[in-house]
Amino acid sequence: MAFRCQRDSYAREFSTTVVSCSPAELQTEGSNGKKEVLSGFNVVLEDTLLFPEGGGQPDDRGTINDISVLRVTRRGAQADHFTQTPLVPGTQVQVRVDWERRFDHMQQHSGQHLITAVADHLFGLKTTSWELGRLRSVIELDSPSVTAEQVATIEQNVNEKIRDRLPVDVRELSLDDPEVEQVRARGLPDDHAGPIRVITIKGVDSNMCCGTHVSNLSDLQVIKILGTEKGKKNKTNLVFLAGNRVLKWMERSHGTEKALTALLKCGAEDHVEAVKKLQNSSKLLQKNNLNLLRDLAVHTAHSLRNSSDWGGVVVLHRKEGDSEFMNIIANEIGSEETLLFLTVGDEKGAGLFLLAGPAEAVETLGPRVAEVLEGKGAGKKGRFQGKATKMSRRTEVQALLQDYVSTQSAEE
């Protein structure tokens, strides 16, 4: 049996009866990205307006008597509606679909059928799978590559058919109907029951499908193919938008264009060139800064070496710098007799550290320094360096090092 949503994809609400309601759990992804398990109920209706996930199409959202339906899944010939409020079997209920989500899915799914048919007809590019994503949809084509010219031709052809206002018909055929053999399909689910649903775009394509579709290609409005991406082995992914998604994409793109125009102080046609100039300037500045930082590191090393405080434990912190800066200082000093503790970054926050000196001492003290600074590090041959989260504890590290040096001196 086909559900009401499949018999009439444009219906937005209708009345039906609750058949059963049983306790259930739903695994979802929380706002923090972690998986959460919700307790609730699986509600089965005599018929449903809410499409259960299938055929590459996500499930609908909506309400039953104003109670939110958080998931719809197919189980044989029936659909389970997950709610967090129970419903009494035998109750007459009003079902409403989230129309914006439904119509979006109709546009993307019918758009996929059209692109798949045209790509196959024009270039023999077979579709092996597809995904209706939250922001974009992807068709996997059975080809290691698809040229830009082929993409442009496919896009032009599908939009011509949209402008031709070709009708899209939904029919049900029995499994033993001879016409089933002539219909494009990628197989049926193992638990399929009932007649076969066939979606036909007049003069273009006939395909088995369980999803919701537009009744005329004009409802697709427009299709934009964003390009291709490398897919699985010997496959190519074709990325596309249909209908309202194209309008939203254009709105976002126009907003970005306006923002760039204001920032770069030039027209949209000059954006790329302006960004290239900024990148070149930035690279030159980075190179100059790196050279200055290296010179500063050498100068700092000589100053430390010639300082009256030289010996035992030498400590230096700079807000600006990196691992290379610290290693240059350590290389220039080249002492295996003094413990050199260098840090760069926020004085009270995160940063980098380097401990250099006698190999045995560094091997012993390095992990303890990382622990005090609440960081991680590694080292060998008289050096231990890493990342720290608590630079505010540098004085504790200095005390630790001085205690070690004092203990070693006393033992000698």
Residue 80: give its domain's CATH number: 2.40.30.130
Residue 257 lies in a domain: no
Residue 190 and residue 132 share a domain? yes
Instruction: Give the Cα separation of 185 and 208 in Å (integer).
Output: 5
Weakest-pLDDT range from 95-104, 159-168, 300-309: 300-309
Tokens for 152?
A: 């442009």
Residue 261, domain member (yes or no): no
Q: Both 109 and 234 in a single domain?
A: yes
Displacement of CA 301 from its chain's centroid (Å): 46
Q: Tell whether 88 and 119 lie within a shared domain.
A: no
> How high is the pLDDT of residue 73?
94
* SS3 sequence of 207-270: EECCCCCCCEHHHHCCEEEEEEEECCCCCEEEEEEECHHHHHHHHHHHHHHHHHHHHHCCCHHH
87, 109: one domain: no
CATH number at 323 reads 3.10.310.40
Which of 74, 97, 120 terminates a domain? The answer is 97
**pLDDT tens digits, one per residue of 257-267:** 999 999 999 99
176 in a structural domain: yes
Cα–Cα distance, 213 to 196 (Å, whole number): 15
Give the H/E segment covering residue 172.
strand 168-173
What CATH number should be reported for the domain holding residue 112? 3.30.980.10
Confidence at residue 186, expressed as pLDDT on a 0 to 100 scale: 57
- Are residue 93 and residue 125 in the same domain, yes or no? no
| Residue 283 in domain | no
- Residue 144 CB neighbour total at 10 angstroms: 11
Q: Which pLDDT value is given to residue 363?
A: 92
- Among the three residues 73, 97, 121, which one is the final residue of a domain in this structure? 97
For residues 110 and 207, membership in a common domain is answered with yes
Does residue 270 lie within any of the structural domains? Answer: no
Write the pLDDT tens digit of every residue in 70-93. Answer: 999 999 889 999 999 999 999 999
Confidence of residue 220 (pLDDT cuts 50, 70, 90): very high
pTM (predicted TM-score) = 0.75
DSSP string, 117-153: HHHHHHH---EEEEEE-SS-EEEEESSS---HHHHHH
- 109 pLDDT band, cuts 50/70/90, is very high
- pLDDT band for position 312 (50/70/90)? confident
pLDDT for 302 equals: 84
Of 32, 62, 97, the last residue of a domain is: 97
Mind listing the pLDDT tens digit for each residue in 151-204? 999 999 999 999 999 999 998 887 767 676 667 665 555 555 567 889 999 999
Say if CB 213 and CB 194 are below 8 A apart: no
Based on the fold, state whether residues 107 and 205 are members of the same structural domain: yes
Range of the domain at 78: 4-97
pLDDT for 337-350, tens place per residue?
Answer: 789 999 999 988 99
In whole angstroms, give the CA distance from residue 198 to residue 63: 28
Check if the beta carbon of residue 240 is closer than 8 Å to that of residue 224.
yes
Window from 26-30, 302-306, 339-343, 370-374 with minimum mean pLDDT: 302-306
What's the rounded mean pLDDT across residues 132-137? 95
Same domain, 158 and 226: yes
> What is the reported pLDDT for 188?
57
Q: What is the largest CA-CA distance in the chain?
A: 99
Instruction: Domain count for the chain, please give it.
Output: 3
Q: How confident is the model at residue 400 (pLDDT cuts 50, 70, 90)?
A: very high
In this prediction, residues 222-244 reach a mean pLDDT of 97
Percentage of the residues of the chain whose pLDDT score is greater than 70: 94
Regarding whether 308 and 208 lie in a shared domain, the answer is no
179 in any annotated domain:
yes
Q: What is the pLDDT of residue 407?
A: 86
CA distance 50 to 47: 9
Q: Is the pLDDT of residue 311 over 60?
A: yes
Reading the block at residue 393, the tokens are 């504890």
> Are 134 and 9 in the same domain?
no
User: Are residues 169 and 33 located together in one domain of the fold?
Assistant: no
Does residue 266 belong to any structural domain of this protein? no
Cα–Cα distance, 312 to 314 (Å, whole number) = 7
pLDDT at site 139: 97
Query: Is the model more confident about 322 or about 44?
Result: 44
Q: What is the pLDDT of residue 332?
A: 85
- pLDDT at site 193: 57
Share of the chain above pLDDT 90, in %: 72
271 belongs to a structural domain: no
pLDDT digits (tens, 9 = 90+) for 264-304: 999 999 999 999 999 999 999 989 988 888 898 888 888 88
**126 plus 79 within the same structural domain:** no
Assigned token pair, 130 = 């597809």
Which of 19-23, 147-151, 255-259, 377-381 has the lowest average pLDDT?
Answer: 377-381
pLDDT of residue 189: 55
Determine the pLDDT at residue 63: 98
